[in-house]
A and B are shown apart, each in its own frame.
Chain A
Amino acid sequence: MKHLDEYRDEKLANALVARLKATATKPWVLMEVCGGQTHTLVRYGIDGLLPAGMEMIHGPGCPVCVTPLETIDKAIALAGMKGVILASYGDMLRVPGSETDLLRAKARGADVRVVYSPLDALKLARENPGREVVFFGIGFETTAPPNAAAVWQAARQGVMNFSLLASHVLVPPALRALLGAEGNRVQGLIAPGHVCAIVGLADYHAIAREFHLPIVVGGFEPVDLLEAIVMLADQLEQGRAEVENQYTRSVRVDGNALAQAMLADVLTVCDRKWRGLGEIPRSGLKVSAKYAAWDAELKFGLTDRPVEEPKECISALILQGRKKPPECAAFGVRCTPERPLGAPMVSSEGACAAYYQYRRFEAERELVEIGR
């Protein structure tokens, strides 16, 4: 298929691997930020193609995984309220809250609808004037603009029975927290291409300067990632710490002005708790005061009820890139997609899900050998 097959091509990939092996003289440690990139790496066994010693650390960029338990609980509570329809992306339905998940709540009678776009949720609201429709809006800078657009449209059309449960998070504050933490090993960063397509590169230039860190904005296909890794290795070998753009087919330096304007109008920066990373100041987006009538938190008077993470789940260490899924004692034994302890095992962008799905017998080291 055009625009797809060429990014999954063995010859192109082999050429990049050969270049990397010719370039890299040290065991560089790189981080891919986005969970979509993690899945491509694990699914295609790209880390197995790297020169010996070179390591990929998986970053915190799985929006489902970093959504705190409290927010999942709020969504489940909302879904159970009389007269409420909770609309959500399918991804969120299996993520465990403190007691249950949305899929189980649905089975017990909560009205949970899977939608493919927040505008579908807005349509549901128009079609059900006697009901309250809440869209569960999670994700990074990538998913925030369409959610903001849904609120903006609801306001323009006077759809008062629609609201947004917004739990958006911003990549740069989380990166600063990780890169500034003691024991950080990351020497080069593959920045999330889709986030940069919205916000542009300015924040990443600042991070590259602050941490003297080479950054390459990368795409999501195997050849994209290999090219980004080659570009990072080049920078590291030459002692450069710049922002470069590998994902030029999607990312412009200034990002998407229309999406940025929509974000600025409807959402506002706030402090946000991240699952696994804790509270990070100014790391989230919530519905701004101007659109308070469409803010589900205010509309339904929702408050945080602090809850404990399951003790055995090491998702905090996974999301910080400090441990890899197979290093968890519960991995594949007491934590599986059918009975997850934490979100990274069920999210389609979660690192644990990627290892479980594509590499379960890594423990036996067998596939790694075949992969090479």
Chain B
Amino acid sequence: MSVLSCPLPFTADDFIVLGHGSGGRLSARLMEDVFLPAFRNPALDRMDDQAVVDVPAGRLAMSTDSYVVKPLFFPGGNIGELAVFGTVNDLAVGGAVPKYLSAGFILEEGLPMDALRRIVTAMAVAARRCGVEIVTGDTKVVEKGSGDQIFINTAGIGFVPAGVSLSAAKVRPGDRIILNGSIGEHGITILSQREGLELGGDLRSDCAPLHELCAAVAAAAPGLRAMRDLTRGGLSSALNEIARSAHVGVEIEERAIPICDQVKGACEIFGLDPLYVANEGKMIAFVPEAEAEAALTAMRSQELGRGASIIGRVTEKHPRMVTLRTSLGTQRIVDMLAQDQLPRIC
């Protein structure tokens, strides 16, 4: 004979359920237990529908990006750090001092609460490291199968110091191009995690905030023309974007581009070109020739710029095109990628 009893309700603390996006009590608890304690700052604590902040006179920079990386946690970082550093870097390469972020979360039903806590904590730590505050946000929950665990959107606002005005349009023939370190580490780390590839050694994502490095370059090279962070599409896409916007040619030296052996090896195996592989802590700066050495020294004096090198120059020849001097001394085009690189057959 069965005993009738009143079952205890599940507390729904272990993983995300649809109710966490309902706007009701579960949503409020998620806010109070997870987001608020991590992100705490005066603008957010007011819990209004919008963040109201003080701004100095001058110009604002604004940027937004969405993060959908898989796996969520990888050697060298996680989706939370990416979501903060990525948007901070987009602001920083424009010469802005990043100040405020918004954070929008799209959670899939079933996401372990522990994973969300780790991600949110990582975002809070990352934000403090960058000197930015996460002042407003939103959470939605979608049904199982309608998302992929967690998607994050961040938008950021930064203040542009007086006298700073960077733009691809300012790039001129003769300018030098400086890269802050070895390329391809984020993309290959993610690929090897997905494919279970053991590359040996300790390859990690280069996921890092570039605001201090950018500020150091701007201070050392007053004539700084433009900067770009290298993300999807890699070094090649960033160079092609500048060549197109500035209507100039870009020439780079294969031998001057630092690439670590694990990335080289993995690219050989998968048939990828490291110039197109994603980065999350790399940037290029376009500086007048006369200021190139000063900018290089400034970069190398920073932890994230130790491996910096001058990789090429801007030219009047072949406008809107990027070329590379190969290790054989010949020249070839570095094209804009049509779509994602797909692994080749043999």
Spell out A's residues near B (CB within 8 Å): 1, 4-5, 8-10, 13-14, 36, 42-46, 48-49, 63-64, 89-94, 114, 116, 138-139, 142-143, 194, 222, 336-338, 348-349, 356-361, 366-367, 370-371
B317-332 residues at the A interface, CB under 8 angstroms: 317-318, 321, 323, 326-332
Interchain CA distance A94-B338 in the complex, whole Å: 11
Is A116 within 8 A of B326, CB to CB?
no
Is B328 within 8 A of A10, CB to CB?
yes
For B263, give the chain A residue with the smallest CB separation: A1
Chain A hits for B333, CB < 8 A: 357-361, 367
Is B344 within 8 A of A116, CB to CB?
no
A49 touching B335 in the complex, CB below 8 Å, given contacts A194-B346, A349-B344: no
Smallest CB-CB A-B distances: 3 pairs: A90-B342, A45-B330, A337-B338
B271 at interface by CB-CB < 8 Å: yes
B297-346 residues at the A interface, CB under 8 angstroms: 317-318, 321, 323, 326-333, 335, 338-339, 342-346
Interchain CA distance A139-B346 in the complex, whole Å: 9
A367 touching B332 in the complex, CB below 8 Å, given contacts A4-B264, A64-B345, A91-B342: yes
Is A90 within 8 A of B344, CB to CB?
yes
Known: A45-B332, A63-B345, A367-B323. 6 other contacts (CB 8 A): A44-B330, A91-B345, A349-B344, A349-B345, A357-B333, A370-B331
Is A222 within 8 A of B343, CB to CB?
no
For A64, give the chain B residue with the smallest CB separation: B345
For B251, give the chain A residue with the smallest CB separation: A370
Is A8 within 8 A of B327, CB to CB?
yes
Interchain CA distance A222-B329 in the complex, whole Å: 12
Is B343 within 8 A of A89, CB to CB?
yes
- The majority secondary structure among interface residues of chain B is loop
B49 at interface by CB-CB < 8 Å: no
For B335, give the chain A residue with the smallest CB separation: A357
A1 touching B265 in the complex, CB below 8 Å, given contacts A89-B345, A114-B342: yes
B35 at interface by CB-CB < 8 Å: no
Partner of A46, one of B264, B330, B331, B338: B330
Measured CB to CB, the closest approach of chain A to B253, in angstroms, equals 12
Measured CB to CB, the closest approach of chain B to A137, in angstroms, equals 10
Chain B hits for A371, CB < 8 A: 330-332
Chain B hits for A9, CB < 8 A: 327
A361 touching B335 in the complex, CB below 8 Å, given contacts A45-B326, A139-B345: no
Is B327 within 8 A of A138, CB to CB?
no
**Can you list 12 contacts pairing A with B, beta carbon distance less than 8 Å?**
A1-B261, A10-B327, A13-B328, A44-B326, A114-B342, A143-B346, A338-B339, A356-B335, A357-B335, A359-B332, A367-B323, A367-B332
For A14, give the chain B residue with the smallest CB separation: B329
Interchain CA distance A49-B264 in the complex, whole Å: 26
Measured CB to CB, the closest approach of chain B to A368, in angstroms, equals 9
Chain A hits for B321, CB < 8 A: 360-361
